[in-house]
Structure 1
């Protein structure tokens, strides 16, 4: 049956007028008018709801036509049957027609099931009333699937329309966490990927929803084109990784760290998926105040996986202090301890594993943010090589605790404290630890003998803050007995007294 747009008026008042000359249908007409009023309030799924409304109207027309020559008792039976069916549809659909559109978006499958059941009720009503007509066939199912597809398309158009960005942001701030998570899943799953397009509205809207809600993307395996590299070459490199510039969701400049020491194998992805849970825990605990956020990783953009984090214009701590030599060095040291404390007080504790100035960045406000936490352990797991024996450790030997020189050594919170002491020295001197020794093997030998770097006597170093008190604390961090090194909370208290 064609849409009743050409057969009946669809407003509630018009509907009442349409069936006013049929007094025996009065009760059913009242329910139908209420149903149409309710459908008009629905904020989404207009196609599916209009189709259901059309079929409800068609049901009334069929009953009216069939019953006009029936005796009164038969008319009462017909009216009762259609009234019961329409009332059932009214009660079933009412929660959905008053629901906010964003909540409807994430409950599409459930809503489609409800609408489908309403259509089945109409068919059952006709069977029960022993009325055979085109309305009772399964032709409605074809229209139902078409309406379903159009409703899904409308949802995607809404979510990708930049004009709806402020409304999406506002809704993200009042939605329940689970609902917001589902909306973001829907948006992320429908990103355009790497397909060339000038319409990047979905990316922009998702980015602003994510940031306004202080959350990370639901799927941190970034394989839908969430990140795009800039340029043909890396801007920095080390023995195990290259740093590229990129854009995240076409909105924010990011750092893409390509891990050349790791191949994209199934075991690598399993390890990264486990690491994602840790990244999320750290983000929820700190929200980027002391720890550089990790937006996710990708294993489908080249032979090596990479991790993505915000681009810091001030660079690393060692770059920052050389560019701005008069900054408050003591504040940097204190901020680094605050970040390390975040990791060490997680349950279970998180070991950074490779703490040094080049793995600490500085935000726009001059605050230090720890980066690359846990990567040492990731490299151990996916390569099967102890970090202290790996190529990555060759660049970190000057910061490694002496106990890590043994074959079966494990990275611990105490080894992080040792590295923190070396980082204090590095920041205050503007030189790597043991800077007068060029061969790191000689550094390992000295550490094995219990030797530590000599105290700097340069006036500039003392002026930056390396006085007797801070030197005493640094030496405590270098204790050859790991258990004697102070935990981060104690260091925080000491630094507060010093400052």
Structure 2
């Protein structure tokens, strides 16, 4: 997930719920086109945030209309630690015909990344990830489940994630259902979203100031040494 200043760690819950809803809206828009447009590369680095931390989908380099897709291949030179971890299990089949459900799976992993502030399978070798995803491995939910007792709606989001990353594409929900579920969760926390956004922007500004100060210090040290 990118911004002029990148978010670090999990955003406050009201913002996390808004982001999951806005991304679902973006996917639903693409999938509602006739023919449907499949993004096929949903991951944090392809979600941009505007100055008020609203999410926008970007990078449609792999996007295809659903009626023109026969086989999608990934170049070995691509950043496997990112894209690979968000690919659905069917993408590892010899014959892969992407559908709307392919994006829905990636959306689930993207939601997991938002609500944990982590990269999925961060320490696993790409060859292991490539093997284990089709075998049913998914990012762990233990940490999120522990927080569900005190965060309203989080259990519903966990249930949605699990539906979306089902091994069988035809068992995954539609993008419309994703927008419906996440809209309800966003509404639960809407009254505190302003404070959450302000908190994050303030933190990002502070980090930027510290970064600039550090650069100036390094420059001063270099000039003194010279």
Q: Deviations over 1:313-334 (max 9, x none)?
A: 9348xx23x2884361100100
Q: RMSD in angstroms over aligned alpha carbons? A: 2.7
Superposed counterparts of 1:184-199, under 5 Å:
none
Secondary structure of the 2:34 match is coil
Q: What is the aligned partner in structure 2 of residue 447 from structure 1?
A: 133
2:124 equivalent to 1:438: yes
Q: Could you tell me which of 303, 314, 326 is aligned with 2:3?
A: 314
Shift of 1:459: 8.2
Q: Which runs of 5+ in 1 are unaligned?
A: 1-312, 379-384
Q: Could you tell me which of 98, 107, 116 is aligned with 1:420?
A: 107
8 A Cα contact 1:414 1:482, kept in partner = yes
2:95 equivalent to 1:408: yes
**What is the alpha-carbon distance in structure 2 between the residues aligned to residue 359 and residue 344 of structure 1?**
17
Distance 1:442 1:328, change over 3 A: same
Q: Which has the higher contact order (CA 8 A, sep 6+)?
A: 2
Distance 1:388 1:409, change over 3 A: farther
8 A Cα contact 2:10 2:115, kept in partner = no
Distance 1:450 1:324, change over 3 A: closer
Distance 1:465 1:390, change over 3 A: farther
Distance 1:348 1:410, change over 3 A: same
Secondary structure of the 1:388 match is coil
Task: Name the count of aligned residue pairs.
Answer: 176
TM-score by length of 1: 0.33
Distance 1:386 1:323, change over 3 A: closer
2:35 equivalent to 1:358: no
Shift of 1:464: 6.9
Shift of 1:457: 1.6
Shift of 1:454: 2.0
Q: Deviations over 1:25-53 (max 9, x none)?
A: xxxxxxxxxxxxxxxxxxxxxxxxxxxxx
Shift of 1:442: 1.2
Secondary structure of the 1:391 match is coil
Q: What is the aligned partner in structure 2 of residue 345 from structure 1?
A: 32
8 A Cα contact 1:328 1:464, kept in partner = no
Distance 1:417 1:458, change over 3 A: closer
Shift of 1:498: 3.4
8 A Cα contact 2:31 2:37, kept in partner = yes
**What is the alpha-carbon distance in structure 1 between the residues aligned to residue 3 and residue 78 of structure 2?**
24
Q: What is the aligned partner in structure 2 of residue 213 from structure 1?
A: none
Superposed counterparts of 1:181-260, under 5 Å:
none
Q: Deviations over 1:68-121 (max 9, x none)?
A: xxxxxxxxxxxxxxxxxxxxxxxxxxxxxxxxxxxxxxxxxxxxxxxxxxxxxx
2:161 equivalent to 1:474: yes
**What is the alpha-carbon distance in structure 2 between the residues aligned to residue 411 and residue 488 of structure 1?**
15
**What is the alpha-carbon distance in structure 1 between the residues aligned to residue 75 and residue 93 of structure 2?**
9
Superposed counterparts of 1:66-465, under 5 Å:
314-315=3-4, 319-320=6-7, 322=8, 325-326=11-12, 328-373=15-60, 375-377=61-63, 386-392=72-78, 394=80, 395-435=82-122, 437-457=123-143, 462=148
Shift of 1:496: 2.7
**What is the alpha-carbon distance in structure 2 between the residues aligned to residue 408 and residue 430 of structure 1?**
33
**What is the alpha-carbon distance in structure 1 between the residues aligned to residue 79 and residue 62 of structure 2?**
8
2:172 equivalent to 1:485: yes
**What is the alpha-carbon distance in structure 2 between the residues aligned to residue 408 and residue 390 of structure 1?**
17
TM-score by length of 2: 0.68
**What is the alpha-carbon distance in structure 1 between the residues aligned to residue 17 and residue 47 of structure 2?**
15
Which structure: larger Rg?
A: 1
Q: Which runs of 5+ in 2 are unaligned?
A: 65-70, 187-226
